[in-house]
């Protein structure tokens, strides 16, 4: 286990921001964590998964732990379900492909999401009508405080919209080591999302399968979202804002075409991308920082933007949405 010094984090973040780590270590085995963590002060540590949901605005003056724990194992099965465990460092989409290749259903709507398996529960990743919590069984995490490994079941994780116990409850206390998923042997496909139905129609698919739904999701994502390998980005920069009924009613009087989706307890989720587009930001570019041309919820780095430039653009975007719609936008991306 090698601790490297003064490492560039550019290859480790999908925004392609230049930032440096004073110390950097790749963790391939949970047993390595205890000895590594004893040596550092904790405050300046950063745990990095796929680096697809982080914006660096400064260097890391301490230690970056890159989670590289690998391995996919079927832990048990019954008549209807497969329980499969994946190491935190597995690439998310490779894991999805692994399951689809075996005809295990449940992950297909979550195809092509950048990032790692270990980061997925932290923000309860979601797309096209499915969230991680729908296929989650349990996870193992290292507790930095008690220096032990604990198992968390579904009810321990407090999953919400792009939220979990690991994001808002005990942020930074636990390091996720592996995640076990419960997948279906018989496909129960979720094609309720309009865009999936339309895409399946375009693909001329009459009887959808795990594979065709995955392909439809891949096609939609590729048509709308910039590929981080080509243009730096971290997917949605903001969460979709949730407002109460009264606020929604008053907004929809002024903007009858505004997209809106029912949320928990009578609240309503608005489409941040729509709000941002209405404020005229779609396709905006200042230097190398920009708002994506096909999806205004995604901020992009066209080349050499700094984290600060992207951050400031995000602040300007949020301020203009606040001014026009009196709706606050909360960042989805983590800022370091």
Q: Quick one: which of 45, 111, 240, 301 contacts ligand EPU (CB under 6 A)? A: 240
Nearer to ligand EPU among residue 67 and residue 275 (C-beta): 275
Q: Binding of ligand EPU at residue 297 (CB under 6 A)?
A: yes
Nearer to ligand EPU among residue 70 and residue 285 (C-beta): 285
Q: Binding of ligand EPU at residue 127 (CB under 6 A)?
A: yes
The span from the CA of 336 to the CA of 252, in Å, is 36
Q: Binding of ligand EPU at residue 273 (CB under 6 A)?
A: yes
Assess contact for 100 and 214: CB atoms under 8 A.
yes
Q: Which stretch binds ligand EPU (CB under 6 A): 66-74, 204-212, 266-274, 301-309?
A: 266-274
Burial pattern 83-98, b for ≥16 Cβ within 10 A else e, equals: bbbbbbbbbbbebbeb
Q: Quick one: which of 12, 104, 128, 165 contacts ligand EPU (CB under 6 A)? A: 128
Is 77 among the catalytic positions? no
Closest C-alpha among 36, 11, 248 to residue 142: 36
DSSP string, 229-288: TTSEEEEESBPPPEE-HHHHHHHHHH-TT--EEE-GGG-EEE-HHHHHHHTT-TT-EETT
Q: Binding of ligand EPU at residue 235 (CB under 6 A)?
A: yes
162, 212, 221, 309: the active-site residue: 162
Nearer to ligand EPU among residue 12 and residue 24 (C-beta): 12
Q: Quick one: which of 111, 214, 236, 301 contacts ligand EPU (CB under 6 A)? A: 236
Q: Binding of ligand EPU at residue 241 (CB under 6 A)?
A: no
Is 214 among the catalytic positions? no
Nearer to ligand EPU among residue 69 and residue 127 (C-beta): 127
Q: Quick one: which of 87, 115, 282, 300 contacts ligand EPU (CB under 6 A)? A: 282
Half-sphere exposure for 198 (CA within 13 Å, toward CB): 6
* CA distance from start to end of the chain: 25
Query: How far lies 36's CA from each of 12, 50, 66, in Å?
Result: 20, 20, 12
Q: Binding of ligand EPU at residue 120 (CB under 6 A)?
A: no
What minimum distance in Å lies between the beta carbon of 195 and ligand EPU? 6
The span from the CA of 298 to the CA of 50, in Å, is 18
Nearer to ligand EPU among residue 66 and residue 282 (C-beta): 282
Q: Binding of ligand EPU at residue 295 (CB under 6 A)?
A: yes
Nearer to ligand EPU among residue 16 and residue 239 (C-beta): 239
Closest C-alpha among 265, 263, 261 to residue 252: 261
The span from the CA of 282 to the CA of 332, in Å, is 18
Q: Which stretch binds ligand EPU (CB under 6 A): 139-147, 164-172, 234-242, 304-312?
A: 234-242
- Count of residues in contact with ligand EPU, rule CB under 6 A: 17
Q: Binding of ligand EPU at residue 226 (CB under 6 A)?
A: no
Dihedral pair phi/psi, residue 322, rounded to 5°: -65, -45
Nearer to ligand EPU among residue 103 and residue 320 (C-beta): 320
Is 138 among the catalytic positions? no
Burial pattern 317-328, b for ≥16 Cβ within 10 A else e, equals: bbebbeeebebe
Residue ranges of alpha helices (H) inside the chain are: 31-38, 92-101, 194-202, 210-224, 245-254, 272-278, 307-325
85, 140, 236, 309: the active-site residue: 236
The catalytic site residues sit at 162, 236, 332
> Which residues contact ligand EPU (rule: CB under 6 A)?
127-128, 224, 235-236, 239-240, 259, 271, 273-274, 277, 282, 295-297, 332
């Amino acid at each position: 286990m090698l601790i490297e010094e003064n490492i560039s984090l550019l290859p480790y973040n999908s925004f392609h921001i230049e930032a440096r780590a004073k110390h950097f270590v790749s963790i391939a085995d949970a047993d390595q964590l205890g000895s590594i963590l004893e040596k550092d002060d904790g405050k300046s540590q950063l745990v990095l998964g796929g680096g697809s949901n982080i914006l660096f605005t400064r260097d890391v003056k301490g230690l970056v732990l890159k989670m590289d724990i690998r391995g996919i194992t079927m832990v048990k099965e019954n008549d209807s379900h497969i329980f499969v465990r994946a190491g935190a460092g597995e690439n998310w989409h490779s894991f999805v492909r692994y399951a689809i290749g075996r005809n295990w259903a449940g992950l297909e709507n979550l195809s092509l999401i950048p990032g790692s398996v270990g980061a997925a529960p932290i923000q309860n990743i979601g797309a096209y009508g499915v969230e991680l919590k729908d296929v989650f069984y349990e996870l193992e995490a290292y507790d930095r405080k008690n220096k032990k490994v604990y198992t968390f079941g579904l009810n321990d994780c407090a999953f919400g919209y792009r939220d979990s116990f690991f994001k808002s409850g005990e942020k930074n206390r636990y390091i996720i080591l592996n995640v076990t998923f419960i997948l279906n042997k018989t496909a129960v496909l979720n094609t309720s999302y309009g865009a999936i139905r339309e895409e399946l129609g375009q693909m001329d698919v009459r009887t959808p399968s795990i594979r065709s739904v995955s392909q439809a999701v891949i096609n939609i994502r590729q048509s709308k979202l910039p590929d981080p390998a080509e243009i730096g980005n971290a997917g949605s920069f903001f969460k979709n804002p949730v407002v109460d009924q009264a606020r929604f009613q008053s907004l929809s009087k002024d903007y009858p075409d505004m997209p809106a989706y029912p949320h928990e307890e009578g609240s309503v989720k608005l489409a941040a991308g729509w709000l941002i587009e209405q404020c005229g930001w779609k396709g905006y570019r200042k230097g190398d920082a920009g708002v994506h041309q096909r999806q205004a919820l995604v901020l992009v780095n066209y080349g050499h933007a700094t984290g600060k430039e992207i951050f400031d653009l995000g602040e300007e975007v949020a301020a203009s949405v606040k001014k026009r719609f009196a709706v606050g936008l909360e960042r989805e991306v983590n800022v370091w």
